[in-house]
Structure 1
């Protein structure tokens, strides 16, 4: 009997690991279908407060929904207008840029050989290969356009999610026996996601605008294109700002020479350090509730599972998993492992809050917004 009892935890662990592998494999296979719905879910979470604010101001719910959807659609159209013409022109001239880069690589090889450092041309090309970096940038921006082909599906899903949002707490009340505790965890999830996405969007917009202005002042071609690229890749933690800088600096090397490339690199370094190390931490406050290692590993994992969109959503998705793990006693230890150093969290004023500010709670009948339920009850 004892032997069977000892085997149960190991069996449960193996079953959990097998289920995890099956779910991840299924997500990877269903990437084309899953990505639009994930994007729609996060867009709805960010857009819901605006719709409910309009409703509280006296607008009918259908009209508030139409205004929010028009705002989302207008933002997408503006992004398409900013990127479209520059992207087509850049893609058309890409072979010319690649040829110039290859010529400059050959000149660099000859200069190194003149210094007595013989390097095979093939080895140097494989080491640097700047043309491939520019091709990857064009391919990445083109994939954004292919994602926009799912705009109708994404917007339609957002509409239905927002229509159901106000009735969701009532459904949870009927389903869950520990409703008060569950709604606090759900409130924490939505509050953290909205807060992260709002701050990240504002700082990304600031980064993109500053980069575009800097490159325009330097005289680089397509400053709006590189500004939009910096805006989008700022959502990718750790490496996004580096990836955004590479094609612009390489183009500056072709168009403006080494001096212009240094000025462009200095602009990226200055803007990203100012925004990433000064402005963003000031408004992000307690931080993401995730360790730096987990943020990086989540970037790799979600990028592998969901492609480039997974890299953009890696932090919100991992925050969602952490909050879900934290809501159950048996998995809380995993949430602690995903979180930051406890000493650092205390210095910043605490990690993930134990109770959410009254967000969804104010939609519930018979509950005062200022009196959230006790999560331990």
Structure 2
């Protein structure tokens, strides 16, 4: 009787409760967990640089310093561009007060022709108070200062992880015989995350550059700011394109009217939809390993847990969760197929008595990926 398995309902409830406790716990320490996870993802992204330097016999301190400096310089560059651009935005927005009032008056006349009452119009006008726009800019500045305050923590974490990367790689490699499935899962996570970041960054740079050129040709103010925003929102699944489009479209509406706003929307749609809907999926292939539904759920859950940083890290976080909870367990391969949306039947795991066979099934890293984030 003691060997009788627990009821399935109890297992489901305990698992759900554990997930809720874990997520809310991460949410409470999001100011620490967010930078830690971002630092881990960045170290994984630049780990091929260390491997390339190691293969050429470069001294160990250079293998650590070069990837570290690459990440730090990129972060500092993006923060500098965002800081200057957001301050410029806060400066020029008040100059559009007259255009804003004219647009509201035109919208009021249009709504009146459509039969809306005075009370409804007054409520709509209060909702579009220009002060709220300035408040939004202040929120952006506050968020930017928050990023700056955590930048020191991120740099320290990046340095620590860069120093530990070679040791971590050796530890994972030595554990491939004892826990082959877990090591293989972590290896696959690192490879998928790296490919996702590299491909998304390349296409994000192409799209953002074309967006900047289009905005400059259309005369929209601060095209560099909106280009950086478009690059950042590339990493936000499903809704990133919309988040990157709305601010420049609204500014184009204030600066040049409805026609300029429509031209901005058309330009963004042509550039981003072509790349992100047709070209990007071809190069990413099965690197993400998440279905459309799971990608959307990942965005919702991790944004709730870690805030805006969770939206940027939704895919890597979901890949890490999949690696630890599903891919590391050969008996859970059916769940991996369900999450990835792959209709191919998952292979049946070997009996528990065949220990060696099970180990071989998970031992070889797929695609020849290197082991660990420091690979």
- Give the TM-score of the pair, scaled to structure 1: 0.84
What's 1:114 paired with?
Answer: 113
Asked whether the 8 Å contact 2:187–2:370 carries over to 1, the reply is: yes
- Matched-pair contact (CA < 8 Å) for 2:47–2:373: no
User: Which structure's relative contact order is higher, taking Cα pairs within 8 Å and 6+ residues apart?
Assistant: 2
* Structure 1 residues 5 and 122: CA distance shift in structure 2, 3 A: farther
- Are 1:248 and 2:241 counterparts? no
Sort the Cα spacing of 1:337 and 1:127 in 2 relative to 1 into closer, same or farther, 3 A. farther
User: When the two structures are superposed, what TM-score results if normalisation uses the length of structure 2?
Assistant: 0.84
2:339 match: 338
What is the aligned residue count?
Answer: 356
**Displaced runs of 4 or more, over 6 A:** 126-131
In structure 2, how many angstroms separate the alpha carbons of the residues matched to 1:258 and 1:275? 26
Q: Distance in 1 between matches of 2:256 and 2:225?
A: 17
Residues 1:10 and 1:281: Cα distance change in structure 2 (over 3 Å): closer
Name 1:211's counterpart in structure 2: 211
- The alpha carbon displacement at 1:191 in A equals 0.6
Q: Deviations over 1:271-320 (max 9, x none)?
A: 11121122212211235211101111110110000000000010111122
Structure 1 unaligned blocks of 5 or more:
346-353, 365-377
1:122 to partner: Cα distance: 4.0
Residue matched to 2:57: 58
In the alignment, the residues of structure 1 paired with residue 372 and residue 104 of structure 2 have an alpha-carbon distance, to the nearest angstrom, of 62
Structure 2 residue aligned with 1:370: none
Structure 1 145/55 Cα, relative in aligned 2: closer, same or farther at 3 Å?
farther
Answer yes or no: is 1:5 the counterpart of 2:15. Answer: no
Q: Is the 8 A contact 1:98 1:131 kept in 2?
A: no
User: What is the alpha-carbon distance in structure 2 between the residues aligned to residue 225 and residue 142 of structure 1?
Assistant: 17
- Per the TM alignment, residue 99 of structure 1 is displaced from its structure 2 partner at its CA by 6.4
Q: Tell me the equivalent position of 2:370.
A: 360
1:251 is paired with a residue of what secondary structure?
helix
The CA deviation at 1:130 is: 8.9
SS in 1 for 2:368: coil
Q: Distance in 1 between matches of 2:233 and 2:373?
A: 35
Q: CA RMSD in A?
A: 3.1
Partner of 1:230: 230
Q: 1:287/1:149 Cα in 2 relative to 1: closer, same or farther (>3 Å)?
A: same
Which residue does the alignment assign to 2:24?
25
Q: Shift of residue 253 of structure 1?
A: 0.8
- Unpaired segments of 5 or more residues in structure 2? 347-363
